[in-house]
């Protein structure tokens, strides 16, 4: 998910326009705080939140809650926004969603199947499609 270097890049971009709370020398500490506050946000959403904040004409440095609001607003307005994210991010979200029974793999389209002889659900991914997309997978090829 979101790393301190992802956050630091966004904070540096914000620092061009806004004055950080404790000056530009404190961006590393701020990056740690923001990363903890926004740990479930992925880098693409964080970048979009920073860009949205810069585009709104705000006058002050954004606290993490303002960036969280921008991410949540984007997710609410466009619940299918995940389709615009890179395949690796889509796959990670799909795998962590816990709803594998209803949604196919976003990379190869594989669905959860029940094996007859084991009575254990299994997903048979298309290895070549994953390989071509550069996205690994968990499950059977």
Tokens of 85: 């994210």
Q: What pLDDT does residue 62 have?
A: 94
**pTM flag (> 0.75):** no
* Domain residue extents for the chain: 4-82, 86-133
Q: What is the pLDDT of residue 32?
A: 93
113, with CB counted inside 10 A (0-12, 13-18, 19+), is: exposed
Write down the pLDDT at residue 73: 79
Helix (H, G, I), strand (E, B) or coil at 90: helix
CB contact at 8 A, 125 and 87: no
Helical residues (DSSP H) of 18-126, grouped into ranges? 27-37, 43-55, 64-77, 87-96
Other CB atoms within a 10 A radius of the CB of residue 60 amount to 9
pLDDT along the chain (141 residues), means of 10: 88 92 85 91 84 88 92 66 63 71 80 63 81 75 54
CA 139 to centroid of chain Cα atoms: 22
Residue 23 Ramachandran class (φ > 0 left, ψ -120 to 50 alpha, else beta)? left
């Amino acid at each position: 998910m979101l790393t301190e270097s992802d956050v630091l890049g966004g904070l540096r971009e914000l620092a061009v326009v806004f004055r950080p709370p404790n000056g530009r020398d404190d961006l590393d500490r701020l990056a740690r705080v923001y990363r903890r506050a926004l740990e479930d946000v992925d880098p693409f959403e964080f970048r979009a939140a920073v860009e949205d904040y810069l585009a709104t004409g705000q006058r002050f440095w954004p606290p993490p809650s303002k960036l969280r609001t921008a991410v949540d607003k984007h997710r609410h307005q466009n619940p299918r926004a995940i389709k615009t994210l890179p395949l690796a991010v889509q796959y990670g979200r799909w795998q962590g969603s816990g709803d594998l029974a209803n949604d196919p793999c976003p990379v190869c389209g594989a669905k959860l199947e029940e094996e007859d002889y084991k009575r254990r659900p299994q997903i048979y991914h298309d290895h070549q499609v994953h390989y071509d997309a550069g996205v690994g997978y968990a499950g059977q090829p």
